[in-house]
């Protein structure tokens, strides 16, 4: 198995991941998660409070609004 194919932080990341979209294939692969949401002007779920996270609205606007 090529080490380049497996993120060495995957296990640790999965333990810490609080995203409730559990079927997401990017779970635990934080670089892919960030890349995916960044391209959409969004922020990964772990930046939101549990209440906002569960709405799956990952927009920057929602993030800012929830911190006012």
Residue 62 interacts with ligand SF4 (CB under 6 A): yes or no:
no
Residue 33 interacts with ligand SF4 (CB under 6 A): yes or no:
yes
Nearest-approach distance from CB 36 to ligand SF4, in angstroms: 5
For residue 21, give the H/E element and its range.
Answer: none
Interface of this chain with ligand SF4, residues 35 to 54, rule: CB under 6 A:
36-37, 44-45
The residues, any chain, with a CB within 8 Å of residue 58's CB and separated by 6 or more, are 37, 40, 42, 43, 44, 45, 48
Nearest-approach distance from CB 3 to ligand SF4, in angstroms: 23
């Amino acid at each position: 198995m090529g080490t380049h194919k497996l993120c060495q932080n995957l296990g640790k990341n999965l333990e810490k991941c609080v995203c409730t979209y559990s079927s997401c294939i990017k779970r635990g692969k934080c670089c892919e998660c960030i890349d995916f949401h960044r391209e959409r002007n969004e922020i990964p779920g772990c930046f939101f409070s549990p209440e906002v996270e569960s709405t799956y609205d990952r927009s920057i606007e929602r993030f800012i609004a929830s911190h006012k």
